[in-house]
Chains A and B, each alone.
Chain A
Amino acid sequence: MSAELTHLGFADRAGHAVQAVARNPVSAAAFAFMPALLMLAALAPWIIPYDPDATDLDHVLLGPSALHWFGTDQVGRDVFSRVLIASRLDLAIAFAAVLLSFLGGTFVGGAAAFFGGTVDRVVGRATDVLMTFPLFVVAMAMVAALGNSIQSIVLASAVVNLPFFVRLARSEVSILRVQEYVEAARAGGNSNLQILFGFMIPNALPTLTVQVSTGLGWAVLNAASLSFIGLGIRPPTAEWGVMVAEGAANILSGYWWLAIFPGAALTLTVLCFNLLGDGLRDIIDVRTRR
Chain B
Amino acid sequence: MTGSMSSLLEVDDLAVSFDIRGGRLTAVDGVSLSIRPGETLGVVGESGSGKSVMAYSLVGLLADNGRIDRGQIHFDGRDLRSAPDEMARARGAGIAFIFQNPRAALNPIRTVGDQVRDALEASRRSSRRDSSRRALELLEQVRIDRAKDRFHAFPHELSGGMCQRILIAMALAAEPKLLIADEPTTGLDVTTQKIIMDTLYELGASTGLATLLITHDVGLAARYCRRIAVMCDGKVVETGSTAEVLERSRVPYTQRLVAATPRSGRKLIDLLPPCERGPFAARGSGCGDGPAVTEGGGLLLNVQGLSKSFHTSRAVGAVARALRRRFGRGGGADAGGRPSTETYAVRDLSLTLKRGARLGIVGESGSGKTTSSRMIARLLDQTEGSIEFDGADIGAVPSAAFNRSAMRRRIQVVFQNPLGSLNPRFSAYQAILNPLRRAEPSISRDMQRSRVVDAARQAGFDPMLLSRFPHQLSGGQQARVGIARALVVKPDLLILDEPTSALDVSIQALVLNQLDLLQRELNLTYILVSHDLNVIRLMCDSVLVMRFGRVVESGDVETIFQSPSHPYTRELINAVPHLPAQIVENVL
Question: A50 within 8 Å of B by Cβ?
Answer: no
Which chain A residues (192-245) contact chain B, with CB distance < 8 Å? 192, 194, 198-199, 202-203
- CB–CB B470/A184 < 8 A: no
Q: Is the CB of B471 within 8 A of A8?
A: yes
Measured in the bound complex, the distance between the Cα atoms of B48 and A289 in whole Å is 20
Residues in B whose Cβ lies below 8 Å from that of A194: 438
Chain B proximity mask over A6-49: 1 for CB below 8 Å, otherwise 0: 01110000011001000000000000000000000000000000
What residue in chain B is nearest A189 (Cβ atoms)? B438
- Main SS at interface, chain A: helix
Task: Check: B425 CB closer than 8 A to any chain A CB.
Answer: yes
Q: Is B377 an interface residue (CB 8 A)?
A: yes
A191 to B379, CA, bound (A): 13
Given contacts A1-B48, A19-B21, contact A187 B379 (CB under 8 A): yes
Interchain CB contact (< 8 A) of B424 among A1, A7, A191: A7
* Nearest Cβ on chain A to B403's Cβ, whole angstroms: 5
Q: How far is the CA of A9 from the CA of B435 in the complex (A)?
A: 25
Q: Which residues of B contact A4 (CB under 8 A)?
A: 419, 471
> Which residues of A, 228-277, contact B by the 8 Å Cβ criterion?
none
Whether B415 sits at the interface, judged by CB under 8 Å, is: yes
- What string of 1s and 0s marks CB contacts (under 8 Å) between B115-146 and chain A? 00000000000000000000000000000000
Q: Which of A7, A181, A188, A192 contacts B471 (CB 8 A)?
A: A7
Q: Which residues of the other chain, B, contact A192 by a CB distance below 8 angstroms?
A: 400
Decide: A180 and B420 in contact? CB cutoff 8 A: yes
- Are A9 and B471 closer than 8 Å at their CB atoms? yes
Other-chain residue from B47, B413, B425 in contact with A203 (beta carbon distance below 8 A): B425
A183 x B415 contact (CB < 8 A): yes
In the assembled complex, the Cα of A198 lies from the Cα of B434 at a distance in Å of 10
Q: Which residues of A contact B413 (CB under 8 A)?
A: 183-184, 187
Given that A181-B420, A184-B413 are contacting pairs, would A190 and B434 also be in contact in the complex, using a CB cutoff of 8 Å? yes
> Is B250 in contact with chain A by the CB < 8 A criterion?
no
The reply on B422 being an interface residue by CB < 8 A is: yes
Q: Does A59 contact B (CB under 8 A)?
A: no
B570 within 8 A of A: no
B485 an interface residue at 8 Å Cβ cutoff?
Answer: yes
Q: Which residues of B contact A188 (CB under 8 A)?
A: 434-435, 438, 485, 489
> B438 near A181 (CB under 8 angstroms)?
no
- Give Cα distance in the complex from A190 to B489, angstroms: 13
With beta carbons under 8 angstroms apart, the residue of A183, A184, A189 that contacts B404 is A189
| A15–B21 CA distance with the chains assembled, in angstroms | 8
**B420 CB contact (under 8 Å) in A179, A199, A203:** A179
Q: What distance in Å separates the Cβ of A116 from its nearest Cβ neighbour in chain B? A: 13
CA–CA, A192 to B399, complex, Å? Answer: 12
Nearest-neighbour CB distance to chain A for B479, whole angstroms, equals 13
B470 touches A203 (CB 8 A): no
The A-contacting residues of B in range 146-164, CB under 8 angstroms, are: none
Asked if A186 lies at the interface with its beta carbon under 8 angstroms from chain B, I say yes
Interface pair B421/A180, CB less than 8 Å apart: yes
CA–CA, A13 and B48, complex, Å: 22
Do B422 and A181 have beta carbons less than 8 Å apart?
Answer: yes
Docked-complex contact A189 and B409, CB < 8 angstroms: yes
Enumerate chain B residues within 8 angstroms of A179, measured Cβ to Cβ: 420
Q: Which residue of B lies closest to A205 (CB)?
A: B425
* Chain B residues with CB under 8 A of A16: 21
Tell me, yes or no, whether B416 is within 8 Å of chain A by CB: yes
Interface residues on B, range: 35 or more
**Across the interface, do A187 and B412 meet the contact criterion of CB distance under 8 Å?**
yes
B95 at the interface (CB under 8 A from A): no
What is the CA–CA distance of A186 and B409 in the complex, to the nearest angstrom? 11
A185 interfacial contact with B, CB 8 Å? yes
* CB <8 Å contact, A185 and B470: no
> Which residue on A lies nearest to B412, using beta carbons?
A187
Check A202/B425 contact, CB under 8 A, given A183-B379, A189-B408, A191-B404. yes
Q: Are B417 and A180 in contact (CB under 8 A)?
A: yes
Most chain A CB atoms below 10 A, which of B400, B420, B472: B420
Instruction: Give the distance to chain B from A250, nearest Cβ to Cβ, in Å.
Output: 54
Interface residues of B in 471-497 (CB under 8 A from A): 471-472, 482, 485-486, 489
Q: How many Å from the CB of A171 to the closest CB on chain B?
A: 18
B354 to chain A, nearest CB (A): 23
Contact of B425 with A1 in the complex, beta carbons under 8 Å? no
Kindly list chain A residues whose C-beta atoms are within 8 Å of the C-beta of B434: 185, 188, 190, 198
- B15 contacts the other chain (Cβ, under 8 Å)? no
User: B residues within 8 A CB of A19?
Assistant: 21
Q: Determine if A129 is an interface residue (Cβ-Cβ < 8 Å).
A: no
User: In the complex the two chains form, what is the Cα distance from A19 to B19 in whole Å?
Assistant: 13
Contact yes or no, B420 A191, CB < 8 A: no
Choose from A1, A8, A203 the contact partner of B423 (Cβ within 8 Å): A203
Q: How far, in angstroms, from A186 to B404 measured CA to CA in the complex?
A: 9
- Please state if B403 and A186 are interface contacts (CB–CB under 8 Å): yes
Q: A4-B471, A189-B438 are in contact. Are A184 and B485 (CB under 8 A)?
A: yes
Are A186 and B379 touching (Cβ within 8 A)?
Answer: yes
A180 and B416 contact, CB distance less than 8 A: yes
Is A66 in contact with chain B by the CB < 8 A criterion? no
The yes or no answer to B459 lying at the interface (CB within 8 A) is: no
Q: Are B472 and A184 touching (Cβ within 8 A)?
A: no
- B551 CB–A CB distance under 8 Å: no
Q: Verify if A145 is at the interface (C-beta below 8 Å from B).
A: no
| Minimum CB distance partner of B400 in chain A | A192
- Chain A residues positioned under 8 Å from B540 (CB to CB): none
Once bound together, how far apart are the Cα atoms of A203 and B423, in whole Å?
8
Closest to A290 in B: B63
Contacts of B415 in A (CB 8 A): 180, 183-184
B561 contacts chain A at the CB level, 8 A cutoff = no
A8 (CB) vs chain B CBs: closest residue: B471
B568 in the interface (beta carbon within 8 A): no
Bound Cα distance A9, B421 (Å): 18
- Near A by CB (< 8 A), chain B positions 433-458 give 434-435, 438-439
Q: Known contacts being A15-B21, A187-B379, A190-B403, is A181 close to B409, with CB within 8 Å?
A: no
> Known: A183-B379, A187-B377. Is A7-B404 also a contact (CB below 8 A)?
no
Q: Is A3 an interface residue (CB 8 A)?
A: yes
Q: How far is the CB of B158 from chain A (nearest CB, A)?
A: 24
Q: Is the CB of A189 within 8 A of B471?
A: no
CB closest chain-B residue, reference A13: B471
Q: Are A185 and B424 in contact (CB under 8 A)?
A: no
Give complex CA distance A19, B48 in Å: 25
Q: Is B99 among interface residues, defined by CB-CB distance under 8 A? A: no
Complex Cα gap A186–B424 (Å)? 16
B469 proximal to A (CB < 8 A): yes
Contact flag A3-B419 (CB < 8 Å), given A9-B469, A184-B413, A189-B409 = yes
- Taking A180-B420, A188-B435 as known contacts, 11 extra A-B pairs with beta carbons closer than 8 A to each other, sorted by chain A number, are A1-B47, A9-B469, A9-B471, A181-B421, A183-B379, A183-B421, A184-B413, A184-B422, A189-B403, A189-B408, A198-B423
Across the A-B interface, the 6 shortest Cβ-Cβ residue pairs: A188-B435, A7-B471, A189-B438, A180-B421, A180-B420, A189-B408
